[in-house]
Chains A and B, each alone.
Chain A
Amino acid sequence: MSEPSPLSEQEREELIAYLDGELDTQAARAVEEKLQRDPAWRREAEQLQATWEMLDFLPQAHAPASFTERTLTFLQASQARQLRYRRLRRNLVYTAWAAAVILSALTGFWSGRGHPVFPSAEPPWPPSEEVLLLLQHREYWPYYDKLSSFSFLRQLDQADLFEEGS
């Protein structure tokens, strides 16, 4: 094993940053002075540099000739898969909407049986005499449900109903 480094952790950081060309001019000059003055610094720099150069022995991978083609094919397959997925999702959304509409219509139909939600036919036109009569007497609308018959309304319509002697 190697001797322990004579440099503190901070000094070693500075030295390595210097070897990597990462220090500004002033900091680099400070390291250079230490290297010139101190043999321990020089030894450390030399060993760190030699160790770094040993990493040149690391293998560098080379992609096989088919790599690019394989990647592009994979990409196309992936895009086709995504497209299929998007279509499927869209179809599912449409189906869900359709199902929701049908379901709510059916619910409406079943809950409204015997009490049709929609009138079976349009109201007759022109309106009947009774309706016209009712419309003429807006002041009686709040009492509409108390009217037993339209004959009472007709009587109201006769101007002399409340005249004296009638």
Chain B
Amino acid sequence: MSPSLLFIVLLGLSALAYYLGRTKALRAAAGRGDGRLHSLPVYYGAYVALWVGLPALIVVVVWLVLEPQIIHLLLSARLPAAALGLDPARLSLLIADIKNHALGGITSTTLSPELRGVADYFSSLRTAGLIGMPVLSGASAAGGLMIGWRHINPTFRARHAVERALRIVLIVASTIAILTTVGIVLSLLFESVRFFSQVSLFEFLFGIQWSPQTALRDDQVGQTGTFGAVPIFAGTLMITLIAMLVAVPIGLFSAIYMAEYASPGFRSVIKPVLEVLAGIPTVVYGFFAALTVAPALRGFGEGVGLDVASESALAAGLVMGVMIIPFISSLSDDVINAVPQSLRDGSLAMGATKSETVIQVVLPAALPGIVGSVLLAVSRAIGETMIVVMAAGLSANLTANPFEAVTTVTVQIVTLLTGDQEFDSAKTLAAFALGLVLFIMTLGLNVIALRVVRRYREKYD
């Protein structure tokens, strides 16, 4: 039985259990004479339904999680001695072959008779799994029904029991956020540690040569791979800087105009339209950068005698800057609006013009908030992927010329991980090391930005 069908069946069983529990409670109450129940009848139904559905669901989920691991272990134990000497990558390839053979798919090599025996064993395991999972979850559902059913009587505090269970479910749901963070940190750290056992941390952070091609076979020469990430960091920095040079002035001036000058009607139209810029998928910006902006820049460069690469840092940076504008404008708009009116009134009363008030009074008061919004925008720019993947280059040049092609952390992660390669090579692990750097940088920027904004808020509230 397929898992999705099983889920539906379990849902149906729970509905049935709900009906049974509710009926039994009503009958029992009617039998008692006064017709009184401790809780509303729905709670008795829900109580039994929880006993039926929840344990069975947990059984299915645990089964689905553990099954591949257990099958892998059992199959490895059955393999002939010669296969056990293989390195993990080849072993998993062999096991994949065995599984394919058992399922009637295409295998990369023809299997020896011994291995066919293992394949048959796998088929029997699979059948056992297909039968075992529904049977086990069905048994737990039946057991749950029995327990829940027996608890029901008119004095049973069903509401308390159901609410307690509900509260536990709520707590579990809110810990998913923690689990996600832990998952991100652990997976990045784990793979990065493996990377740094092959490449020294010093080389990664300070080396200026990045060519991640490693030799596929031992007899290949000249493809040892060097992992000095400085050119990548420099490229990321340059594109981010270009993006900020576009986004900060435009975003800030838009925010000032919106907050200080614009009429409410103008504001209510223009603000959502500007936010459309933030809602456009980044892949669209990437296409725009590659199709329109980059050729235009190249043509312009030819016109004035500059050599502009077709995947220049400038094109990617400019388009990314446009994408970032609404982040800066709407956050800055909020902080400028939060500056107390009394400060403006004081300044205007002293005879200052509106622009003088803005420059000399409002902006200094709003500065921490604006700095915070710029930092958030920087972190957004560093983590942005699709624009740079489509419009920036792949080769890691260490250059300060915005007309040349540079590469970024996110571009390298994508190119290292899309394509066919062994998972354990230094090349793919490098992507996780870069991901860790990216995670730490953006997290750091966010923490700083939130601190700055919060301190500012405390001052005026």
Bind each other? no
Residue positions of B touching A, CB distance < 8 A:
none
Residue positions of A touching B, CB distance < 8 A:
none
